[in-house]
Structure 1
């Protein structure tokens, strides 16, 4: 029986796909990647992600403003994200969060936008896809407050088992364990295939399979042995193979469970 996989996080709107986007999507399907989620990082890429999801079966969209792409936050921006989120092809708000690596946007502006978009997700009932780069403490503090807020518990998310995912997880075991006490998942990408990522390998081996998602973050984070090339969704197969080795589980089990978890998280049907 052929494997069925999901790429839970890629960026098909990136200009590096302009020359062959239909072929990239076709190669993913041929590799058993039956569904993929293309992620917005600003208003324009969010609009483009929705358009791609409308155009291609098996493609879904997330809409949001990445912390490195924040301009002046305005009520009209949030209103447009809310309108985009109403589209049935939109399955999440993201990617949103904090990035202290590049220092392109002052931390208070990042924080305000993060909180505003978390509130939007709670209002529209869509889970969140979290970006966290060298901002672990502040990301966790913000999510901790959001998860435990009375208003959030009574939000449109309250009926869902999972409210969010920490994408391309880069924290330690203690951070992972706390996140797993919340209605959250952890997602892993190409770095789990890197030979020198020993700490990440040890971490993944200690995690429950039923709380994990797989992703490529394409065109970024290309897995071994294609490092240095443009990444694409078909290569989520390499991430699944690495996860199976680390977890000591058959590849078929990893594919089936992560696909089932993605189906529940993104609330798409099994058709």
Structure 2
């Protein structure tokens, strides 16, 4: 059995786990999972994540507003996030960022919320968890300007973008995408990431690795992603798991 598994980005509050959430979360430590971070997407989701950490001591929470819900927040959303972030089980602000994938999203509102939450994280001395999709120029420019510490999660950019992000001191997180047949770009980006800046994640219930693609994902599937990373990096799966666990603990001060 593999050990020292740190899932740095999960969504166990998602309705996909409603039917057997406790069963899954009870099982994870027995399968080598030592830590998992619950990424918040709304105020309600962030609060639900904190509540789960009360019941499972290997879980930690991040609080934040996902760009897909930008503009749906009350005027005092930053104050509410700040109050939640005072909880000792909160280790980051996230997931926050930009998403230009679908038409209809207000990019100006997304950028405003992204900047506001980056500023909050700096005030609170917390790392950030960055969501970035189809927005490379804007998000990298904002990171250059505001210089947060944290991780770009579910990295989908090019090797060139990875180098730019790494220059800013950010960590880079990879999901089960590394196992997909069309993962050439992700694998090239992975090759650019130094040992001490790499973390692994599921983004569960999404992004299940091969051979589970299309099914509900959970943290027990991370070794498949680690195996794909090990092949690129010329090492073994357990070594990758141990390296990325140490990196995650350093990133989130655990």
Same fold by TM-score, threshold 0.5 exceeded?
yes
| Structure-2 change in CA distance of 1:19 and 1:186 (3 Å) | same
Q: Structure 2: which 5+ runs fail to align?
A: none
Residue 112 of structure 1 deviates from its aligned partner by 0.3
Give the counterpart of 2:190 among 188, 196, 204. Answer: 204
| Structure-2 change in CA distance of 1:252 and 1:88 (3 Å) | same
User: Can you list the C-alpha shifts for 1:234-260, whole angstroms capped at 9, x where unaligned?
Assistant: 111211111111111122221111111
Kindly indicate whether residue 173 of structure 2 is the aligned counterpart of residue 190 of structure 1: no
Residue 103 of structure 1 deviates from its aligned partner by 3.1
Q: Structure 1: which 5+ runs fail to align?
A: 153-162
Describe how 1:16-31 pairs up with structure 2 within 5 A: 16-31=16-31
More divergent stretch after superposition (63-72 vs 199-208): 199-208
Kindly indicate whether residue 123 of structure 2 is the aligned counterpart of residue 143 of structure 1: no
Residue 183 of structure 1 deviates from its aligned partner by 2.2
Give the counterpart of 1:247 among 233, 237, 253. Answer: 233
Distance in 2, matches of 1:197 and 1:143, equals 25
Structure 2 counterpart SS, 1:137: helix
Residue 171 of structure 1 deviates from its aligned partner by 1.0
Say whether the 8 Å CA contact 2:172–2:193 is kept in structure 1.
Answer: no
Residue 104 of structure 1 deviates from its aligned partner by 4.1
Which stretches of structure 1, 4 residues or longer, exceed 3 Å deviation after superposition? 72-75
Give 1:167's aligned residue.
153
Residue 64 of structure 1 deviates from its aligned partner by 0.2
Kindly indicate whether residue 205 of structure 2 is the aligned counterpart of residue 214 of structure 1: no
Say whether the 8 Å CA contact 1:27–1:234 is kept in structure 2.
Answer: no
Distance in 1, matches of 2:33 and 2:73, equals 36
Describe how 1:84-103 pairs up with structure 2 within 5 A: 84-103=84-103
User: Can you list the C-alpha shifts for 1:207-254, whole angstroms capped at 9, x where unaligned?
Assistant: 212110000000001100011111111111211111111111122221
Give 1:11's aligned residue.
11
Kindly indicate whether residue 222 of structure 2 is the aligned counterpart of residue 236 of structure 1: yes
Residue 2 of structure 1 deviates from its aligned partner by 4.9
Structure 2 counterpart SS, 1:205: helix
Distance in 2, matches of 1:164 and 1:40, equals 15
Distance in 2, matches of 1:209 and 1:21, equals 33
Give the counterpart of 1:256 among 242, 247, 254. Answer: 242
Describe how 1:127-138 pairs up with structure 2 within 5 A: 127-138=127-138
Alignment size in residue pairs? 254
Say whether the 8 Å CA contact 1:42–1:64 is kept in structure 2.
Answer: yes
